[in-house]
């Protein structure tokens, strides 16, 4: 059966006009239609926060749960019912502050969840406090003199938790967002998609450098497995490895040709260079990496649970409660 985005849509979103959540929601509808899993076989599970309202706008099964616990709840749903396609949706506060523990453990266990992290670097629903992804010195209502703490960089956290999939897109960039969502679905295991999105009210402009098409042409690099890491308005720059790090070079200058440019390997087990790509920032003279940065196959938790149950079923002679009782030391009173 083929679907359209309309088949996954429900209700009227209540986010502020211009909020990145609107853009992302449209991309998710579109991606789900292209993926084609029946609406009733999808479960969209969120925590609390602006972005966690998202399940209410889905014509699928879903839960808008409690703050921080979406990944844990999604874990139970997926393990108990592996036939479901489970999408876990959190903001940066929900996913990385109060829910940080569940985020890292879902990655470590490699549960087959599509984990969406809508990162606007602010608490919007509580009206403007800094989040765990706000940069050091960030001024907000709860940090009037600037924060004195360093932020999490989601990719670093994902990789540190042995995550096997990490992709990034800008909320306004629909085609690229749809692509990474589809890749996340295709990937078996925990797939983290970081969505860079704007909060027009409390953190306007936070992803300014890449929020428009023009900006991305200048300040972002679309990475693609097997393709050289080339970027720039005229594709004039590339990335090469230098020492322990990456370096931006200009193609055609100093004898550099396309052949010298590093070729992206999302499937490489060793995540060293993938992490370097993921951590590139405009402030350091690098483009921001968009697309699927890491996508490595590994055994998933839910598959392993099912396989182990089958294995033990085959090995053990008791398969129901009555037979279980018989495995004990039993005596008879006559």
CB 236 within 8 A of CB 287: no
d(CA 87, CA 327): 41
Residue 263 lies near another protein (rule: CB under 8 A) = no
Q: What is the largest CA-CA distance in the chain?
A: 97
Encoding tokens for residue 333?
A: 């009173």
Nearer to another protein, 102 or 207 (CB): 102
CB 170 within 8 A of CB 194: no
CB 190 within 8 A of CB 110: yes
Range 239-253 burial, b when 16+ CB lie within 10 A, else e: beeeeeebebbebee
Residue 309 lies near another protein (rule: CB under 8 A) = yes
The CB-of-16 to another protein minimum distance in angstroms stands at 17
Binding characters for another protein, 277-296, by CB under 8 A (x = yes): --------------------
Residue 36 lies near another protein (rule: CB under 8 A) = no
Binding characters for another protein, 132-171, by CB under 8 A (x = yes): ----------------------------------------
The CB-of-309 to another protein minimum distance in angstroms stands at 5
The CB-of-86 to another protein minimum distance in angstroms stands at 9
Nearer to another protein, 161 or 221 (CB): 161
Cα 308–chain centre separation = 28
| Cα-based torsion angle of the residue sequence 164, 184, 39, 195 in order, rounded to the nearest 10 degrees | 110
Nearer to another protein, 66 or 256 (CB): 66
Residues 43-82 that bind another protein (CB under 8 A): 43, 45, 48, 55-56, 58-66, 69, 72-81
The CB-of-78 to another protein minimum distance in angstroms stands at 8
The CB-of-4 to another protein minimum distance in angstroms stands at 16
Q: Residue 327 — φ and ψ, nearest 5°?
A: -80, -5
The CB-of-328 to another protein minimum distance in angstroms stands at 4
Residue range at the interface with another protein (CB under 8 A); choices 40-48, 227-235, 246-254, 266-274: 40-48
| Cα-based torsion angle of the residue sequence 242, 247, 253, 254 in order, rounded to the nearest 10 degrees | -20
Based on its alpha-carbon atoms, the radius of gyration of the chain, rounded to whole angstroms, reads 22
CB 31 within 8 A of CB 14: no
The CB-of-81 to another protein minimum distance in angstroms stands at 4
Instruction: List contacts with another protein (CB under 8 A).
Output: 11, 38-41, 43, 45, 48, 55-56, 58-66, 69, 72-81, 83-84, 101-102, 104-105, 305, 308-309, 312-313, 315-322, 324-325, 328-334
């Amino acid at each position: 059966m083929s679907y359209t985005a309309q088949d996954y849509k429900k209700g009227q979103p209540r986010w502020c006009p211009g909020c990145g959540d609107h853009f992302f929601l449209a991309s998710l509808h579109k991606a789900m239609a292209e993926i084609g899993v029946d609406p009733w076989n999808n479960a969209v599970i969120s925590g609390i926060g602006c972005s966690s309202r998202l399940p209410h706008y889905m014509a699928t099964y879903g839960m808008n749960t409690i703050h921080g616990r979406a990944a844990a709840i999604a874990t139970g749903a997926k393990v108990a019912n592996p036939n479901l396609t489970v999408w876990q949706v959190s903001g940066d506060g929900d996913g990385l502050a109060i829910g940080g523990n569940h985020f890292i453990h879902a990655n470590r266990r490699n549960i087959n969840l599509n984990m969406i992290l809508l990162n606007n670097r602010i608490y919007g629903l509580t009206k403007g406090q800094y989040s765990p992804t706000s940069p050091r010195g960030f001024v907000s209502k709860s940090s009037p003199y600037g924060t004195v703490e360093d932020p999490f960089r989601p990719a670093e956290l994902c990789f540190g938790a042995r995550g096997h999939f990490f992709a990034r897109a800008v909320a306004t960039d629909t085609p690229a967002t749809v692509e990474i969502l589809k890749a996340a679905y295709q990937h078996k295991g925990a797939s983290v998609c970081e969505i860079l999105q704007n909060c027009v009210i409390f953190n306007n402009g936070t992803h300014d450098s890449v929020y428009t098409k023009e900006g991305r042409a200048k300040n972002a690099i679309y990475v693609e497995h097997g393709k050289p890491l080339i970027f720039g308005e005229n594709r004039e720059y590339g990335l090469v490895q230098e020492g322990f790090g990456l370096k931006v070079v200009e193609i055609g200058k100093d004898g550099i040709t396309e052949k010298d440019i590093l070729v992206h390997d999302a499937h490489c087990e060793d995540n060293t260079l993938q992490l370097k790509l993921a951590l590139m920032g405009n402030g350091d003279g690098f483009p921001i990496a968009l697309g699927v940065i890491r996508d490595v196959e590994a055994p998933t938790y839910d598959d392993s649970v099912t396989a182990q149950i089958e294995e033990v079923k085959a090995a053990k002679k008791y398969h129901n409660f009555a037979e279980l009782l018989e495995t004990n030391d039993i005596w008879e009173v006559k």
